[in-house]
């Protein structure tokens, strides 16, 4: 069961990207210099947290105890430009589609908060409320 303090901490988090002051390039993950112009004049910019599944794969073998199979790893295209690798959760793997609108959510995994994505429209993912591991009832 998730504690109220964890829920509040997750809600307070938001997705950020690095933005280059020299050329304006927005990128993820953060690095010491801009990958486009090599400037080190970088800042953080808050993103909307919205995205679209650009492509994905379904893992059917468990590699880590925090990621029970099956689970979906996706390349998520953010409307601000960057793309990021993340998980699609609260949706059976067979319901995930390229082009699906998703929204970021932060989940506690040990000491870290991981950005994962959930379908933006529950209609796109009818089993959202009861099944997040893809098993059929």
Report the interface residues with Zn ion, using CB under 5 A: 20, 22-23, 25, 34, 36-37, 39
How far apart, in whole angstroms, are the C-alpha atoms of residue 120 and residue 92?
Answer: 14
Residue closer to Zn ion (CB basis): 22 or 124:
22
Residue closer to Zn ion (CB basis): 14 or 21:
21
Helix, strand or coil, per DSSP, at residue 4: helix
Least distance from Zn ion to the Cβ atom of residue 86, Å? 24
Least distance from Zn ion to the Cβ atom of residue 80, Å? 15
**Which residues in 2-36 are b (16+ Cβ under 10 Å) and which e?**
eeeeeeeeeeeeebebbbbeeeebbbbeeeeebee
CA angle 17/36/88 to nearest 5° reads 40
How far apart, in whole angstroms, are the C-alpha atoms of residue 123 and residue 62?
Answer: 28
Residue closer to Zn ion (CB basis): 82 or 134:
82
Least distance from Zn ion to the Cβ atom of residue 51, Å? 23
Least distance from Zn ion to the Cβ atom of residue 61, Å? 39
Residue closer to Zn ion (CB basis): 20 or 104:
20
């Amino acid at each position: 069961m998730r504690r109220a303090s964890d829920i509040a901490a997750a809600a307070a988090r938001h997705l950020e990207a690095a933005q280059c002051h020299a050329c304006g390039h927005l990128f993820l993950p953060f690095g010491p210099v801009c990958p486009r112009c090599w400037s080190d004049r970088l800042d953080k910019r808050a993103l909307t947290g919205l995205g679209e599944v650009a492509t994905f794969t379904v893992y059917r073998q468990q590699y880590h105890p925090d990621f029970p199979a099956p689970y979906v790893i996706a390349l998520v295209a953010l409307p601000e430009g960057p793309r990021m690798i993340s998980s699609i959760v609260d949706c059976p793997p067979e319901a995930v589609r390229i082009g699906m609108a998703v929204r970021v959510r932060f989940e506690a995994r040990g000491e870290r908060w991981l950005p994962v994505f959930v379908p933006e429209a529950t209609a796109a993912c009818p089993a959202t409320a009861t099944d997040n591991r893809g098993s059929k009832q």
